[in-house]
Amino acid sequence: MSAEAAATMEIETLPSDPKPASNSLPPKLKFEPLKAHEMSDGRVQFRKVSVPPHRYSPLKKYWMDIYTPIYEQMKIDIRMNLKARKVELKTRSDTPDISNLQKCADFVQAFMLGFDVVDAIALLRMDELYVESFEIKDVKTLRGEHLSRAIGRLSGKGGKTKFAIENATKTRIVIADTKIHILGSFANIKIARDSLCSLILGSPAGKVYSKLRQVSARLAERF
């Protein structure tokens, strides 16, 4: 069927072209963009996102918030494979763009990392948002109490340091034990990463705050 479609498409285009003059090249063939469904020879595209155990109940809780935008706006089929503990995404026939699938997959993935749905939704809406993950041991080898203290430094009392960084750099941060995930645009991720790294390395929060203030002022000035 796909071959027929392709052939028909090709056939359709050919007769429309009149015979060109002997001197000039033949005109470019114009093709309509492929629909997601037609890609990879008409086969359906899948994405599967595994669900970590600690995100199981939040998934259940926020399932409708996840499902609705994916199915309605992105036009991607989504289902939860309970046995395999995976979220499966599939393109539909009327999926407008192939990137939708990827976006949805990213969105679901972000949720699985630990981000909130309202924050992860931004991935669906904006193209240039990325998620960066790194571990504390990548920055500095810390063991035992030092590690715990580093994690404490990163979050701050009641999470205020983390929130401060988030608000200043327009990112979202998830600190999962030794893993750190940052969601935001490229430049903002960089700034947030620098602040976090400095905190890991041992600088006090006040120093990080002052730096953040400067950065945020600069960012605000730009616009």
Partner 1 sequence: MATSIEAAVESLREIKSKEPPMWLVPKQELSQAVRAASKHLFSSLKPHSPKSPFDQLLIEGFDAEQIWQQIDLQSQPLLYTLRREVKKFEKNPEEISKLKEAIEGGKKKKVVEEKGTDDIDDDDDDDDDLDMDDDDDYDDDEEEEEKKERGREEESEREGEEMELEGEEKGGIEDKFLKIKELQEYLEEDEAKEYGLKKNKKTKTETKKKEEDTEEEEEGEDEEEEEEEDDDNDEAEEEEDELGLFDGDDEDDEDSLENARYEDFFGTKKNKGPKEKAKSRDRFEGDSGSDDEQDFDKRKDGLSTHEEELKKLQSKIEQMEKANLDPKVWTMRGEVTAAQRQKNSALEVDLDFEHNVRPAPVITEEVTASLEDLIKTRISEGLFDDVQKSRSLSSKAPRETKELDDNKSKKGLAEVYEEEFVQKTDPAAAPLSFSDELKKEASMLFKKLCLKLDALSHFHFTPKPVVEDMSIQTNVPALAMEEIAPMAVSDAAMLAPEEVFAGKGDIKEEAELTRSERKRRRANKKRKFKAEAAKRLAKKPRETTQVDSNEGKENE
Q: Which residues bind partner 1 (CB under 8 A)?
A: 116, 118-119, 121-122, 125-126, 129, 159-161, 163-164, 166-168, 170-172, 183-185, 209, 212-213, 216-217, 220, 223
Distance CA 177, CA 166 (A): 18
Distance CA 112, CA 125 (A): 18
Amino acid code (one letter) for 53: P
Give 79 or 125: the residue with its C-beta nearer to partner 1. 125
Give 70 or 142: the residue with its C-beta nearer to partner 1. 70
**Residue 129 Cβ, how far from partner 1 at the closest point, in Å?**
8
Give 7 or 217: the residue with its C-beta nearer to partner 1. 217
Beta-carbon contacts of 138 under 8 Å, excluding residues fewer than 6 positions away, are: none
3-state secondary structure of 82: coil
Distance CA 55, CA 215 (A): 34
**Residue 120 Cβ, how far from partner 1 at the closest point, in Å?**
8
**Residue 159 Cβ, how far from partner 1 at the closest point, in Å?**
7
Give 2 or 214: the residue with its C-beta nearer to partner 1. 214
**Residue 162 Cβ, how far from partner 1 at the closest point, in Å?**
9
Give 150 or 208: the residue with its C-beta nearer to partner 1. 208
**Residue 181 Cβ, how far from partner 1 at the closest point, in Å?**
13
Give 114 or 184: the residue with its C-beta nearer to partner 1. 184
3-state secondary structure of 79: strand
**Residue 213 Cβ, how far from partner 1 at the closest point, in Å?**
6
What 8-state DSSP symbol labels residue 204? -
Distance CA 153, CA 140 (A): 14
Residue from 86, 68, 163, 165 nearest 124 by CA = 68
Query: End-to-end alpha-carbon separation of the chain, Å?
Result: 52
The answer to whether 160 touches 205, Cβ cutoff 8 Å, is: no
Residue from 216, 131, 215 nearest 172 by CA = 131
